Amino acid sequence: MNAPLKNDLYLRALNRETVERTPVWVMRQAGRYLPEYKRVRAQAGNFMNLCSNPELACEVTLQPIDRFNLDAAILFSDILTIPDAMGLELTFETGEGPKFGKPIKSRADVEALPIPDPNDSLQYVMDAVSTIRRELNGRVPLIGFSGSPWTLATYMVEGGGSKDFSKVKGLMFSDPHTMHALLDKNAQAVVSYLNAQVEAGAQALMVFDTWGGVLSPTNYQEFSLRYMQQIVEGVTREADGRKVPITLFTKSGGQWLDLMAKTGCDGLGVDWTIDLADARKRAGDSVALQGNLDPSVLYGSPESIHAEVKKVLDSYGDAPGHVFNLGHGIHQFVNPEHLGVMVEAVRELSTRP
Ligand code: CP3
């Protein structure tokens, strides 16, 4: 049996309940800006070794919780575990980002793709989830996650990161049928992967659609949002008698928050290119919002960090349903003490009498 939750601010805020103070966590909170992370990463040898070792993955997941007392933990893993389990042969070269040895090139490649059984080739992720949940011992909730079908497809077709998305967009425009077949497979794989994470102990879910914002409005709906909708409809929404909230985050997706809210998700991630007051107007009252401090604010002085945190809290206002976060992942060259300043500012400025 897992311990009862001692701090459930994050879950209550996503449920749009009134909370004593605004909960805070940070995308990429376990990562290279932390010297203790770099030590464990060096011990593991490479990034995938770190992800596939449940004890080490657990250790780095807890590092930012221990250091900053954040209000949620996020599974240490990567969105690209799914295509790796599909046989695309993922590697991370130092300083180069992800690469696939066998990217998707044709309709036949899509047809041959297996939908991985999460309790087989992705069992290492489930072991990490259950280990982390046990070691958290009820301190804060554990967030499980995946990439969106579209964002996964960009890496699968480009063979790694991309600046112009020429291959994946080329496929989307010239052969939409194949593109949809790929996205549908990805969506099925994501649903069973997220459900297995909930089964293993994840208490909330997040879908990262890092590249949805490179699409036109109609293509965003057809090639990204539609498949996130399939995920919202397919995932487990309750476990151990408690709601398992799901948050969708499309980077550069501020203009589509109304459409995203209609999927029936619980929370929306918001980047820093839209004011939270506008974001609330667009999203409506059915969802909570997560965000949205510009990650580069952490390069500034402690005084400027304090002032920028205040702006974000003020722009959201007094209504319930805010989870404080950066608008995207923390940069690797940020001074960790500056994140401490941010977290303290959120605590101080958002505490309600
Ligand atoms: O947030 C957390 O602390 C949990 C762990 C997490 C990682 N990646 C660890 C990681 C999460 C939630 C992700 C998600 C992820 N991975 C996304 C979506 C979110 C986003 O940032 O937009 C994407 C697009 C990826 C794919 C990915 N993984 C890339 C492009 C890279 C290389 C770029 C980089 O930052 O170096 C990774 C590697 C990666 N994933 C690292 C970490 C801590 C750095 C690897 C290292 O330690 O060498």
Answer yes or no: is pLDDT of 163 > 70.
yes
Contact assessment for residue 268 and residue 249, using Cβ atoms and an 8 Å cutoff? yes
The bridge status of strand 267-269 relative to strand 288-293 is parallel
C-alpha 188/C-alpha 207 separation (Å) is 14
Protein residue with its CA nearest to atom 24 in ligand 1:
210
CA angle 249, 29, 300 (to 5 degrees): 95
Question: Is 67 an annotated catalytic residue?
Answer: no
Q: Is 161 in the pocket of ligand 1 (CB under 6 A)?
A: yes
**CB neighbour class for 344 (10 Å; exposed up to 12, middle 13-18, buried from 19):** middle
- Encode pLDDT of 13-29 as tens digits: 999 999 999 999 999 99
For 351, other C-beta atoms within 10 Å of its C-beta total 10
| Closest ligand 1 atom to Cα of 161 | 30
Question: Is 155 an annotated catalytic residue?
Answer: yes
- Encode pLDDT of 312-331 as tens digits: 999 999 999 999 999 999 99
Question: Is 12 an annotated catalytic residue?
Answer: no
Going from the N-terminus, what domains does the chain have, and what CATH number goes with each?
A: 9-350 (3.20.20.210)
Identify the band that residue 1 occupies on the pLDDT scale cut at 50, 70 and 90.
low
Alpha carbon of 31 to ligand 1 centroid (Å): 8
| Closest ligand 1 atom to Cα of 32 | 47
Residues 242-253, mean pLDDT to the nearest whole number? 98
Check 10, 33, 155, 316 and give the catalytic one.
155
- Encode pLDDT of 219-229 as tens digits: 999 999 999 99
Return the amino acid letter for 148.
S
Q: Is 145 in the pocket of ligand 1 (CB under 6 A)?
A: yes
* Cα dist from 84 to 80, 87, 277, whole Å: 6, 5, 39
Mean model confidence pLDDT for the chain: 97
Report the percent of the chain where pLDDT is more than 70: 100
Contact assessment for residue 84 and residue 101, using Cβ atoms and an 8 Å cutoff? no
Alpha carbon of 220 to ligand 1 centroid (Å): 23
For 114, other C-beta atoms within 10 Å of its C-beta total 11
Residue whose tokens read 């997220």: 194
Q: Is 72 in the pocket of ligand 1 (CB under 6 A)?
A: no
Q: Is 262 in the pocket of ligand 1 (CB under 6 A)?
A: no
Protein residue with its CA nearest to atom 18 in ligand 1:
208
The pTM assigned to this predicted structure is: 0.97
Phi, psi dihedral angles at 70 (to 5 degrees): -65, 165
Query: Which pair of structure tokens corresponds to residue 115?
Result: 């939908």
